[in-house]
Amino acid sequence: MSIVNTFEINEPLDMHLHLRDGDMLKLVGPLTSNTFSGALIMPNLVPPVTTKEALLGYKQRIKEACSGDDFEPYVTLFFQTTYSYDFLKDVKDDIIGIKLYPAGITTNSQTGVSSMDVEVLRPTLEAMSKLGIPLCIHGETNGFVMDREKEFMPIYESIASAFPDLKIIMEHITTKDAIDLLDKYDNLYATVTLHHLLITLDDVAGGALQPHLFCKPIAKRPEDRTALLNTALKGHPKLMFGSDSAPHPKHKKECCGCAAGVFTSPIALQVLTELFDKYQSLDNLNAFVSLNAQNFYGLKPVKKTIKLVKKDFEVPSIYEYKDENVVPMYAGETIAWSIA
């Protein structure tokens, strides 16, 4: 077995990213734009991004925060059942997709969709299907926390069957059930996070509670992690990297009522390289973190080659800007790969 000490990732893309706004955006934006060519940005601000004016304004603020880097923010709209065909036609060239949140299921989703009945969703989904706008879904019910994604599988199936020309992305999948569904429908695709390739619920709450690993969807069982990891390591063409890196200030993580989200942007490429190297699958890493997304969305990302070296990197204990701060995954620990 040959020993790999360097590796290059071309045009890395993060297809599920939270950047927030204001000073938090100014803090975390460059931590992605420094190493990624582009990212699909979530629209769950307060208020959510639902108009063309809000969309273009947010994109401009992201570009200003990341102005020191070659980086393209791919922006999205927050799904509403009242979008008209004419409105979506007007914004089609400005967005990469529309994100559907079930109401109240995760951070800033209170104004999400209250009914997942296909007939309720039909007007917007028909327009999206005709216009070729992909649908990104946070796929969870309000059931028992470990079963929420599994219970959502029939909803994915009903939408995929009703709208066969609509490309559907099962966001941040966490279960073997989602992996099993991935190849059942031609129009179903998925993203998976770094942390769900690494942890189970035991890492979050099996010993002392680890608030910085608490996220939604919650980490699941070992067999779920194994299914996700094996599929990612193979470079499955319908599975894309989406970090779901979700920054919250330290005081909102280390408290009663801990906010859900794992912040991985500064260490994502290093840890992915370490993980794929461990399983002798580096040949598939570029597909997972770039090529699959390019093929799915028809992207031509900013040219950028990131060279990684097998050299210890001590992860900062905290990142700060003005009054904002955020604690990354592996804070204060040493990881095996670094950005050259």
Under 8 Å CB-to-CB from 317, ≥6 apart: which residues? 327, 331, 332
Which H helix or E strand runs over 233?
helix 222-233
| Helix/strand/coil percentages in the chain, nearest 5 | 40, 20, 45
Q: Which of 99, 102, 166 is closest to 133 using CA atoms?
A: 166
Pairing state of beta strands 338-339 and 305-309?
antiparallel
What distance in Å separates the CA atoms of residue 336 and residue 31, rounded to the nearest whole number? 19
Structural tokens at position 105:
């299921």
Backbone angles phi, psi at 164, to 5 degrees: -65, -20
Q: Which residues are catalytic?
A: 244
Measured distance CA(317)–CA(311) in Å, rounded: 19
